[in-house]
Amino acid sequence: MTSAVPSDDSTSTTQADITAEIEEIEAAYQRSGVEETQPRRDYPPYRSTALRHPTKDLHHADPETIERWAPCFGTRDVDPLEADLTIQSTGEPIGERTVVIGRVVDGEGRPVRHQLVEIWQANAGGRYIHKRDQHPAPLDPNFTGVGRCLTDSDGVYRFQTIKPGPYPWRNHHNAWRPAHIHFSLFGTDFTQRMVTQMYFPGDPLFALDPIYQSVTDAKARERLVATYDHGLTSHEWALGYRWDIVLTGSSRTYMEPEDDASDRGDA
- Residues marked active site are found at 128, 167, 177, 180, 182
Q: Give the separation between CA 247 and CA 197, rounded to whole angstroms.
A: 14
Residue 69's Cβ-count burial label (10 Å; 0-12, 13-18, 19+) is exposed
Q: Give the separation between CA 10 and CA 262, rounded to whole angstroms.
A: 13
CB neighbours of residue 91 within 10 Å: 10
Residue 124 and residue 94 in contact, taking contact as beta carbons nearer than 8 Å: yes
Distance of CA 54 to the CA centre of its chain: 20
Residue 227 and residue 102 in contact, taking contact as beta carbons nearer than 8 Å: no
Residue 145 and residue 129 in contact, taking contact as beta carbons nearer than 8 Å: yes
Give residues with Cβ within 8 angstroms of 168, minimum separation 6. Answer: 126, 135, 174, 175, 176, 177, 264, 265
Residue 115 and residue 131 in contact, taking contact as beta carbons nearer than 8 Å: no
Q: Give the separation between CA 41 and CA 51, rounded to whole angstroms.
A: 10
Q: Which residues pair with 177 in a beta bridge?
A: 167
